Amino acid sequence: MGRPGFIGEHGFSTLIEKGGKRYLFDTGSGIGLSFNLKLLEKSLKGVSCIFLSHGHYDHTSGLGWALHETGPVNVMAHPDVFSRHYVKNPLLFAVEPRYIGSPVPKEELLALGAKFTWVDQTRQVEDGVWFVTGVPCKPNQNCQDPQLLLQNGEGFLPDPINDDASLLIETSSDPVLLLGCAHAGILNILDHLQDTLKIRKLRAILGGTHLMFFSSERIAAVTQRFEDFGVEHVGVCHCTGMNAVVALGAHFKDRFTAAAAGSVFSFD
């Protein structure tokens, strides 16, 4: 259940305040961002960077409005963020693939003040903030959603969503992993943090985990991997899926939060 009064939409966006600086990670579907910020008594004035986790509409549709609020600002994303992302789901849509990429073209966003910085490999981008991308997919941890397609000329191919990105945010103790959708695969992302940045422990894992299509066995493997990292708090939302939410909640108990719209997490 979300907090009373807040707009919950299919999408993801979060405001980050760290060390006197403010950042926005994703912009949702464009419906709830302005309304929910007002309820939180927050604004985007002074935001120094907008990070994009990938190019799907439910993470980018609010970007135009956000730019009106921030004025000219750095927008950090993988260079493939404007790829022609599609979905084909006969249960929900027409039989033909439907475009689900950014609804606003790059040229229009540039005119609104977006100053794009392209990052295709994991690196530190702000003091205590790492942009995690370019995550390799291990053969035994393939997480590709068969419904997601990439336009290729007049046809379509399976979409690897190469533009997927997460944030690693340092705290006074262990870092927090903030996910948009984890299309690279949460297990792959955790392995990448361990192999590349030598991360062995996480204070929290927050955001969308894209576990909705995972079997109970794979969800159990994710749960164990979270424990391997000594995760103190799990706060999931968006694309996690009800089965995974129930399983994670049952396992982590008071270390678990369903991070609905309006949720606030504080780490010293």
> Measured at the alpha carbon of residue 177, what is the angle toward residues 109 and 14, in degrees to the nearest 5?
40
Q: Distance (Å, rounded) from C-alpha 268 to C-alpha 247?
A: 28
CB atoms inside a 10 Å sphere around CB 72: 10
Confidence (pLDDT) at 266: 96
Q: Could you report the per-residue pLDDT of 115-173, keeping only the tens digit for each?
A: 999 999 999 999 999 999 999 999 888 888 889 999 999 899 999 999 999 999 999 99
Quickly tell me which residue has 């997919």 as its tokens.
137
Q: Is the dihedral of CA 176, 181, 186, 188 positive or negative?
A: negative
Average pLDDT of 208-227? 95
Q: Could you report the per-residue pLDDT of 201-215, keeping only the tens digit for each?
A: 999 999 999 999 889
The residue among 162, 118, 109 whose CA lies nearest residue 137 is 162
Confidence (pLDDT) at 1: 47
Name the packing angle between helices 32-39 and 63-70 (round to 10°). Answer: 50
Quickly tell me which residue has 């790829």 as its tokens.
83
Q: Distance (Å, rounded) from C-alpha 230 to C-alpha 154?
A: 47
Average pLDDT of 231-255? 97
Confidence (pLDDT) at 2: 58
Report percent pLDDT > 90 for the chain.
Answer: 90
User: Is the pLDDT confidence value at 180 over 90?
Assistant: yes
Q: Among 30-44, 79-93, 221-235, where is mean pLDDT lowest?
A: 79-93
Q: How far is CA 266 from CA 6, 15, 110, in A?
A: 19, 12, 33
Confidence (pLDDT) at 94: 60
Confidence (pLDDT) at 92: 67
Regarding predicted confidence, which is higher, 214 or 47? 47
User: Is the pLDDT confidence value at 32 over 70?
Assistant: yes
**What is the pLDDT of the chain when averaged over all its residues?**
95
The pLDDT confidence band at residue 223, using thresholds 50, 70 and 90, is: very high
Domains of the chain: 14-255 (3.60.15.10)
User: Is the pLDDT confidence value at 39 over 90?
Assistant: yes
Q: Distance (Å, rounded) from C-alpha 184 to C-alpha 171?
A: 24
Average pLDDT of 7-36? 95
Q: Is the pTM of this model over 0.85?
A: yes
